[in-house]
Amino acid sequence: MVAVEPKKRGENLWGLEDTLVELEYLARSAGAEVIATVSQRAERITPTYLGKGKLQELKELLEDELPDVVICDDELTPTQQRNLEAALQIKVIDRTALILDVFGRHARTREGQIQWSHLERLGGGIGTRGPGETQLETDRRLIRRRIQKIESELDDVRKRRSHYLERRRRSSTPMATLVGYTNAGKSTLFNALCDAGVPAEDQLFNTLDPVTRRLRLPDGNDLLLSDTVGFIQKLSPTVVAAFRATLEELSEADLLLHVIDITHPKAPEQAEVVEQTLADLDLGGKPRLLVINKMDLLTDDPADVEMFDRIDLSVISGAESPAVGGRVFVSAARGWNLPGLLEAVLDQVGSSVAVSTPATA
């Protein structure tokens, strides 16, 4: 793995060590084994990504370790990728391509598979192509034809999904959607609330496709709850925009449940990524609750109110936003305070709750 940190980095950016930890986690989620890491702090990122001396150091390391691929932490330009592969004589991928590989492993619905297939055609991943060889270069006409077919299939799927969302809106049942940083425990919480059986392994982007289930609120009315793909730092806008299904779930929801892994050392930074992504999607004003998850890793007592009071949420980005209707401390893994969470949800959507009627096809 290779990473470069500009010496004059922004105040809110993650440190080099933190971003490398996350990159390794992504690589493992894509089925890769990380055998070495090279990093550099530089005045600027060069056309070869690394400076001359660090590039030579990397070449010598590759001769010793004989890896299959080099993964760069940033999104590379085509020129940077070509220059690196020419200098190193090995396949080079960037963070975006790595994320696409993880997406491809976890896409389960037809829409998710088609979306990933479309993106995968645009650049190489950890797969089998050699240095400098993308599918667009392998056979441009064939790929153009394939992309057109995929886009047509995806358009059909989106139309069907649009009809489904319209039926959901007409049912008058309120909708809530789980959002959060990847691996914050959204799917575990979703399963705990809905008994849904959604995979909740310790991997990044384990939930790629939106999943919706109906659950009962404390007043006896129904709520439609959706689980969606998690956010992550340095996620290419192209990739975000392509996963329109997730964006539709967020925009259609009456309430967003922002799930935060409070035990993660970068919890404030992760929350900031989520809040900034919501703002970038024009969803910053959407009503939401902060769901402070994994409390069982901080205390053995679910009634340890003093522990909850000691947690300083002022560092969590968006915690003081007018759109945030409150915060709820839970353990999705152990089922702590889930009734309290449902009560908080009811308080937020109660004014719009009506007795639901099944939507007709």
How far is it, in rounded angstroms, from Cα 305 to Cα 311? 10
Of residues 229 and 48, the one with the higher pLDDT is 48
Q: What does the pLDDT look like over 87-140, one tens digit per residue?
A: 999 999 998 888 777 776 765 555 555 554 545 544 455 553 444 444 444 444
pLDDT at 354: 42
End-to-end CA distance of the chain: 50
Q: Binding-site residues for GTP, please?
A: 180-187, 205-209, 227-230, 293-296
Q: Binding-site residues, please?
A: 180-187, 205-209, 227-230, 293-296
For the segment 286-300, the average pLDDT, to the nearest whole number, is: 92
Of residues 240 and 107, the one with the higher pLDDT is 240
Q: Binding-site residues for Mg(2+), please?
A: 187, 207
Contact 342, 218 (CB under 8 A): yes
Range with the lowest mean pLDDT among 10-24, 201-215, 248-262? 201-215
The structural domains of the chain, ordered by start, are 2-98 (3.40.50.11060), 172-352 (3.40.50.300)
For the segment 180-196, the average pLDDT, to the nearest whole number, is: 90
DSSP class of 40: E
What amino acid occupies position 301?
D
pLDDT at 332: 95
Two tokens, residue 118 = 């479309």
Q: What does the pLDDT look like over 77-86, one tens digit per residue?
A: 889 999 999 9
Indicate if the pLDDT at residue 25 is higher than 90: no
At 341, is the pLDDT very low, low, confident or very high (cuts 50, 70, 90)?
Answer: very high
Two tokens, residue 338 = 């889930």
